[in-house]
Amino acid sequence: MQGSSTLKDLKQELVDCGAVKFGDFTLTSGEKSNYYVDLKLASTEPSVLKMISSEFAKLLPENVDFIAGMELGAVPLAAALSLETGIPYSMIRKSDRKH
C-alpha cells in the first residue's frame, strides 16, 4: 500500500534528521512520554517538510477553506500545507502587536 510506505518513509526521515528524540519528556499537556517529535526541527528540512504537509493534506476534511498556524513553530507547517492544498493560511499571534 503506497500510503503506508509513505508514512514509513516519513517516520524514517524524522529519525534521520534528528527530530525524533527518546528520553523522559513532559509534554505541554502535562502528560509524560518516552519520545518527542520536534516538528520545528523537522520543518527546517525541505524534503521532510514536504512529506509532512503531504501526509497532513490527506487528513483534511473536504470542507476546509482556511488553515491557521500558531506563531512561530506552526507557521512553516501551515505554509507548506497551504502550498500542498491550495488552501489559504494565516498566522495566529500569541499576543497583540505593539505597533
Average pLDDT across the chain, whole number: 91
pLDDT above 70 coverage of the chain, percent: 94
Q: What are the cell numbers at 27?
A: 509534554
Residue spans of the domains in the chain: they are: 2-92
Residue ranges of alpha helices (H) inside the chain are 2-16, 39-42, 46-59, 75-85
Average pLDDT for residues 19-33, to the nearest whole number? 95
- Tell me what the mean pLDDT of segment 27-56 comes to: 94
Which CATH fold would you assign to the domain 2-92?
Rossmann fold (3.40.50)
> pLDDT at position 97, please?
72
Answer whether 66's CB lies under 8 Å from 88's CB.
yes
Distance set, CA 12 to CA 3, 29, 88 (Å):
14, 26, 30
What's the Cα-to-Cα distance from 35 to each of 32, 43, 66, 83, rounded to whole Å? Answer: 9, 18, 31, 29
